[in-house]
């Protein structure tokens, strides 16, 4: 079967997206599925026989989380909460930090990128989950330049993941 590519940016980094409406579920019977580009975030439909027979079927996320070690700051009004990002995608991240902020709090996030690259600023993000040592953050709004740099960082992480040596026990 021919590899599927994003119609907007041309990358093969696409992921099937779960449909929630009646029309999307009906289209699934015809093997027409919703896909989401992992780089530019474009959502599109494509006909793919037997696409739902992957292990991804049980994952609700539209974006695949990638392991990383980045320093980030959550910015409230004047105070900031620093932490380490343990996984990231175009849709959100897991931040290793403790805070007393409740779920649903809107924050700004500043990702400190390595190698002297400009920091990536997420203008609107929401705290979606709080565990004893981690915070789940959903990204809501980027400036176009920051979104492009974030897409490049995700693409680099995907490329690294494919070439990283595998350790087997």
For residue range 2-49, what is the model confidence (pLDDT) as tens digits?
788 899 998 888 888 876 678 877 887 888 888 888 888 888 988 877
Contact (Cβ atoms closer than 8 angstroms) between residue 122 and residue 146 = yes
Cα 164 vs. chain centroid, distance in angstroms?
20
CA angle at residue 91 from 54 to 9, to 5 degrees?
A: 75
With CA atoms as reference, report the closest residue to 63 among 120, 136, 134: 136
- What does the block give as tokens for 61? 């996320």
Q: Where are the domains of the chain?
A: 14-58, 66-163
CATH level 2 (architecture), domain 66-163: Beta Barrel (2.40)
For residue range 111-153, what is the model confidence (pLDDT) as tens digits?
998 777 899 999 999 999 988 889 999 999 999 999 999 998 8
């Amino acid at each position: 079967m021919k590899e599927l590519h994003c119609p907007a940016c041309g990358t093969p980094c696409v992921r099937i997206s779960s449909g929630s409406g009646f029309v999307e579920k009906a289209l699934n019977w015809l093997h027409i599925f919703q896909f989401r580009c992992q780089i530019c975030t474009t959502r599109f439909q494509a006909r793919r026989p037997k696409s739902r027979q992957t292990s991804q079927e049980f994952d609700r996320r539209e974006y695949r989380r990638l392991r990383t070690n980045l320093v980030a700051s959550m910015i409230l009004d004047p105070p900031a909460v620093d932490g380490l990002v343990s996984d990231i995608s175009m849709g959100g991240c897991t931040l290793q930090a403790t805070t007393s902020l409740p779920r649903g709090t809107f924050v700004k996030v500043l990702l400190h990128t390595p190698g002297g690259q400009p920091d990536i600023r997420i203008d609107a993000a929401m705290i979606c989950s709080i565990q004893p040592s981690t915070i789940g953050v959903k990204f809501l709004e980027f400036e176009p330049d920051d979104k492009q740099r974030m897409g490049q960082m995700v693409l680099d992480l995907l490329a690294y993941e494919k070439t990283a040596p595998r350790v087997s026990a």
